[in-house]
Amino acid sequence: SQQGEEDPQALSIQEGENATMNCSYKTSINNLQWYRQNSGRGLVHLILIRSNEREKHSGRLRVTLDTSKKSSSLLITASRAADTASYFCAPFNGLGNDMRFGAGTRLTVKP
């Protein structure tokens, strides 16, 4: 099965700065999804990027995908304190029930 591995495990920045989180995976994918989780709450879907896409935007979020390196990155621009959360990637290769979450990146945005 395929699991995304997020890096770094934890990230602390000041409000207004950009935050970049990375995700690596091992096999070819159909798509890769990013989710956010506020402390103790359910995950919320952020972006889905398909294997034939290289970049996708949603508001202050920018996701890139490099299938040759089997990696993806999530960039949050002009971060806010409300962006403080854990972020997870979930690669999906289209086979079986292959959508696994890693341990996530814990982002702290200081006001």
Partner 1 sequence: EAQVTQNPRYLITVTGKKLTVTCSQNMNHEYMSWYRQDPGLGLRQIYYSMNVEVTDKGDVPEGYKVSRKEKRNFPLILESPSPNQTSLYFCASSLDRGKNEQFFGPGTRLTVL
Given the rule CB under 8 A, which residues bind partner 1?
A: 1, 30-31, 33, 35, 40-45, 48, 88, 92, 94, 97-104
Q: Which is nearer to partner 1, 10 or 78 (CB)?
A: 10
Contacts for 51 with CB less than 8 Å, ≥ 6 apart: 28, 29, 30, 31, 32, 65, 67
- Least distance from partner 1 to the Cβ atom of residue 25, Å: 13
- Least distance from partner 1 to the Cβ atom of residue 17, Å: 25
Any idea how long the chain is? 111
Question: Residue 97 carries which DSSP code?
Answer: T
Q: How far apart are CA 58 and CA 31, in angstroms?
A: 16
Residues linked to residue 46 through DSSP beta bridges, in sequence order: none
Contact 105, 37 (CB under 8 A): no
Q: How is residue 71 written in tokens?
A: 């990696």
Q: Which is nearer to partner 1, 50 or 78 (CB)?
A: 50
- Least distance from partner 1 to the Cβ atom of residue 111, Å: 26
- Least distance from partner 1 to the Cβ atom of residue 16, Å: 29
Residues linked to residue 91 through DSSP beta bridges, in sequence order: 32
Q: Which is nearer to partner 1, 65 or 104 (CB)?
A: 104
Q: Which is nearer to partner 1, 15 or 70 (CB)?
A: 70
